[in-house]
Each structure stands twice: as structure tokens, then as C-alpha cells.
Amino acid sequence: MAASGDSSAANTGNARPSEGARVSIFDQALWKQFGEASGTDEFVSAWLALQCRLIGGVVRGVVVLGESENGPYSPAATWPDARAPGKELAEIAELALAERRGVVQGLRDEPGLPGPDANCRVAYPFLVDDLLLGVVALELEDVTRSDVRSVMRQLQWGAGWLEVMMRREESRSKEAAGKRTAMAFDLVASALEHERFTAACVTLVGELATQLDCDQVSLGFRQRRHVVVAALSDAALFGKRMNLVRDLGAAMDEAVDQGSVLLYPQRPDWEYRVVRSHAELASRHGAGTILTIPLHSAGRFCGAVSFERGADRPFTDDEIELCDCIATALGPILEEKRRNDRLILWKLLESVRLQLVRLFGPRHVGRKIATAAALGLIAFFSFATGEYNLSAPAKLEGKTQRTLVAPFDGYLAAEYARPGAIVSQGDLLVSLDNRDLMLERLRWSARRQESLTTFDRAHARGERAEARIVESQIAEADAQIDLLGSQLERSQVMAPFDGIVISGDLSQRVGTAVARGDSLFVLAPLDSYRVVLEVDERDISDVQPGQSGRLVLASLPEDVFPYVVERTTPIAEAREGRNAYRVEAHLNAVDPRLKPGMGGVGKIYVEDRLLILVWTARLVDWMRLTVWKWLP
């Protein structure tokens, strides 16, 4: 076996004669103690004593055991007494655990020769299925290199007994765990069979009392600050013996407040706990042994279950572990049934209380931050106000647009302006062909001259009646000549004011006929505009004359032009699938860059409102209309 530090490998040789080679009365007692050991601690202590006896020359010995691979490792048995094994044995045991192999220190070549240490130390690890379970360390006197192999072989053979013991204990643990799991699942199934909380509790305490051989089993749950008994295995006593119920509740409070399993009478090897209420329960009602286990659910203790037996039948460790396992499995199920079996009002109050505890109690930082943020938003939207504006498509129009029409039926002779042209008052825009009018005027002039000649002859002959008839014909001719003169003047269409031509492209119609009243041009002034907005019917009720607004044009997005609403038209027009009303407004100032026909977006200021109402105005109106539509 290899060694470390000043360790050396043991050479092949005969072991020295051991005092254990002769069977003595002491050896027989050791073998008997080893064979009759019931628990793990007794078995390990008897094994260590037997190994030290068989090897011989052992000064001290220790067995260190722990959870496989994970530890922690602690002394399970020492020899020859219960004193601490000493620093040297602890160091070699730790070395053997770390290296997972046998270790030897302090060897001497011959007995009686001085060595680096007073005695030799050996350690051998326990490996079961390649899992490290512990180590045995021995301190020997008068051991040479030739004796080490026999010592290690003896420890290796002896380790087999420990392996058998550990496998047996593991098998027992698995079997016991299986029984505990099966019983827990059976009880869980019994609890789930009942929909009502009370029925489930009564069934469970009865089955627990039967299967665990208890005189009485009671089950209680915490209400406010105290545990209230919900069920007793002896149901006949539940409604009559109120003192028993009160004392059971006090004992359960004791277990829940301390958050641990309580056993009365207490065992010396258990951690100290206050069991005053358990003692009073035992003295008043004759209970010999009381075991109380708190029920745990959702991170808190919600109740407790109490088991009672006579003094002659105390609870074993396995039974206590079984009861704890059952309580762990049943706690969340019963608590959920209890909460669901309450009246809806109590559920609501409990939910409110729980939320308040989480909000104002410790932990739940995220909930507190979210609540503070929500309260901050509510406070902000309760006081923060802003402008409520109505947005609508808008365009510019001339305030006094003038349409120039054909004065009579005729033909276009020439055109002198096109849309977009800026003209001055009196500028010629278009002329009509006036040759027919001039010929007509010449014809009426000739007729007038002929009527004058006839008038003179009638006047000379003294024919007054004839003169009067001719005089009326002269007046008719004068009227026709004046009419034709006026028409000739209107054949030249002039600009009535300074402005811009916004429509009327006649360049392709020169020489074509026009009828009297046909539109030729539309002029708009350059110094007077109006804003025309198409306000949606949902917003028209908020628009009133005199309201102010702002206009942003698509061609001048960096500038804002203020205006004042003048009038609204009472007739809606269909615009892209929606109804819109025409609203006219007056610009407060005129910019030379403005042109009629420019489009953009206008906003009409209505009033100052809460921001939340400004942002949700459309949604609220839609909801009101929808709800009203579906209401009977």
C-alpha cells in the first residue's frame, strides 16, 4: 500500500504474532458484541475494537464516517475510549480521505529503533461502489515495514464487514422510505377524495390514529394568531370537552411558534425546546407521550398535527420521521382545502389582508416599487393638465375668391394668363372673338341711320304718327348699339384686383366655343386668406367660433401660423369614409410665402383638461357609444 509524506510502501513479509491469534474470553466477548450490535454506532464501535484486538499493538484508533462523497465527515467511534483521537490521527485520516487510498506514516526499519515519530500511523478509506464513505485510522507501536502489509490486509478485509453493514442500512433506509412514501400517498389520496375540508380532516385523523397506533390524533390550523383544532380522531369528544380542545390548541401553538417538532417527554439527545403546554396537556388529560409536528405550506406554518400515546409506547425515531413525512405531504393539501372551503367574503378579506401584509411588511421589494410607481402615476394624472386640441386636415383659400366667367356665347380668341400667375388690377386675362358683335353693331348703326332719314321725311311732310313710329325704331337701334358696345367691352376679360390665378388653364381651348356663364378663371387675393378645416363629426361639438388654433403647412413645416375660428357649416361632407364638417378660420397674420391651395394640419385649442382625459378622449367616447348600443 502506498504512503505519503514520510510514508513508505509496505514490503512483503510475515506479520508479527498478534495477541489476537489466541482466542481468549475477551476475544469471545468482542465477537459476541460485534454480532449482536443493533445500531450503526454500536456496530462501528464493536468493529473498531475487534480490529484493534486482531491487529495487536494498537495504541489508538478512530473511525470517521459521513455522507458519501459529500461529507461532512466526523468521528463515529474511537478506541480504546471516547476521547478525541488526537491531532496526528486526524491529519492522516484527512490525508487518506483526500487521496482516497491507504496511507502510512512514521515507519521504522526495525523494532526499537528511533524513527521520525514515536509510533506508526496507518489509515485506510472505505469505498463502496467507488463512493467515499469514511476512513479508519490507527496508531501502532513497535511496527516495522514488514508488518504494514498484514495490517493493511486486515483493515481491507475488515472494511468488507462495514460495507455489508452500510448496504444493509441503506436497504433498510430505502425500505423504510418506501413504506413512508406509500403511507403518505395513501393519506394524500384519502384527503383528495373529499371536496369539503372538514370531511377530509376527520378522515385523516381517523386513519392516522389507526395506522400509527395512537390513542388520539388531532389536527388544527392557524386562524389569526392562534391554532384552532379542526378535527379529533375521537369525534365524540370534540364537541363536549372544550378544555381538551383549548389545551390541544395551546400545544399546537407551541410547536408552530417554535417552528419545530416537539416531543413530550423530551429526550436528552434532542435540542431543547419549550414544552410547557405539552406538559399541561399530559397532566390534565392523561396523555403519556405527545408528538406535535407543525404543518408547513407556501413558506409559512399554517397549523399542526398532534399524536398521543400511552407512556408505555413512546415514539421511535423511525415513527417520528414517518409522522414528519406525512405532515409535510398533507400540509399544503389541507391548507388549500381550508382556504377554498371558506365563504367568498372571507376569501376576499383574506386576500386584501395578504396583499396589505405583502405591501407594508418585509420583503416583496418589487411589489412595493410597483405600488409606489402606480400611486405616483395616479397622483400625476390627477393633477397634471394639458391643452386639449382637435386636429384636422386644413388648407388655405383666398378670403374673397373671384370667378371670372364668359360674358356671352362666343369663341376664345386669346389667353394671357395661366394658373399660378400673379396679376394686377386691369391686366388682360383672356379675350373673346368680337367680330360678330362688331358686324352686328354696324348693322344696327345702319338701321339707325336709315330710321333717322325716314324720321326727317315724315317730319317734313307733317306726318306725326309716322314720325313717332320711326322715333321708337331709332331708340331701339340706340339700345342695341349700346348693348353691343357693352358686350364688346366685356369681350376683354380683365383682372378685377391684384391677386393670383388659382385655376383656369385656357391654353388648350383657344378658338373653341364658350357659353355664357362658363368659368374662365378663379382669382384670389395675395393679402387675405382663410383656413378651411375638415373637422371630424366626433369632434365638431367642441368647436365654437372665437377659438384659437395653429396651422402647420406641408410646404412650411417649420413655421406655425395662428388663426381664429370664424364659423362652422351645419352640413357634413363625406371624406374618405368619414363625415367631416367645414370649419372656416381667419389667419392672424399673412406671410408672403403663403399661397392659396396649400395644405397641412390645423389644431383647434378647446380647453385645458387633465392629461389622462386628453389622451383617452377618443377611447372614452368610443366606449360610451359601444356600451349604449348594447344596453337594453
Boundary-marking domain end, from 321, 341, 361: 341
Average pLDDT on 119-135 reads 85
Give the neighbor-by-neighbor strand order of the sheet with 73-79. Answer: 73-79, 58-66, 131-140, 120-128, 103-105
**Are 587 and 459 within one domain?**
no
pLDDT digit string, tens, across residues 489-511: 777 787 887 777 877 777 777 77
Does residue 169 sit in the same domain as residue 253? no
Lowest-confidence region among 12-26, 220-234, 431-445: 12-26
Angle at 400 between CA 397 and CA 406, to 5 degrees: 105
* Same-domain check for residues 201 and 287: yes
Domain with 459 in it: 434-490
**Is 111 contained in some domain?**
yes
The answer to whether residue 377 is domain-embedded is: no
Q: By CB neighbour count within 10 A (0-12 exposed, 13-18 middle, 19+ buried), where does 122 fall?
A: buried
Q: Is 593 inside any structural domain? A: yes
Same domain, 313 and 218: yes
Q: Are 417 and 502 in contact (CB under 8 A)?
A: no
- In 387-537, where does DSSP find H-type helix? 435-461, 464-490
Q: Are 548 and 561 in contact (CB under 8 A)?
A: no
Identify whether residues 85 and 201 lie together within a single domain: no
User: 160, 26 in Cβ contact below 8 A?
Assistant: no
Whether this prediction's pTM lies above 0.85 is answered by no
Q: Report the alpha-carbon distance of residue 563 to residue 570 in Å, rounded.
A: 21
Would you state the cell numbers that stand for residue 603, as one nine-digit string?
A: 389644431
Task: Give the per-residue pLDDT at 359.
Answer: 85
Which residue, 529, 506, 502, is CA-closest to 587?
A: 529
Provide the domain count of the chain. 4
Within a domain: residue 222? yes
Residue 577 within a domain: yes
Q: Please check whether residues 216 and 281 belong to one and the same domain.
A: yes
Domain shared by 27 and 167, yes or no: yes
* Whether residues 209 and 281 fall in one domain: yes
Distance, CA of 134 to CA of 228 (rounded, Å): 48
Any domain includes 88: yes
More confident residue, 120 or 22: 120
CATH number at residue 57: 3.30.450.40
CATH number of the domain encompassing residue 570: 2.40.30.170
- Mean pLDDT is lowest, of 229-243, 362-376, 602-616, for 229-243
> Is 242 part of any domain?
yes
Q: What is the pLDDT of residue 116?
A: 46
End position of a domain, from candidates 109, 140, 173 = 173
Q: Which of 326, 341, 356 is the last residue of a domain?
A: 341
Task: Give yes or no: residues 119 and 228 share one domain.
Answer: no
pLDDT tens digits, one per residue of 546-603 = 999 999 999 999 999 999 999 988 888 887 778 899 999 988 888 888 888 889 999 9
Residue 2 within a domain: no
Q: Are residues 442 and 561 in the same domain?
A: no
Same domain, 543 and 483: no
| Cα 146 from chain centroid (whole Å) | 73
At 165, which amino acid appears? M
- Cell 356671352 belongs to 408
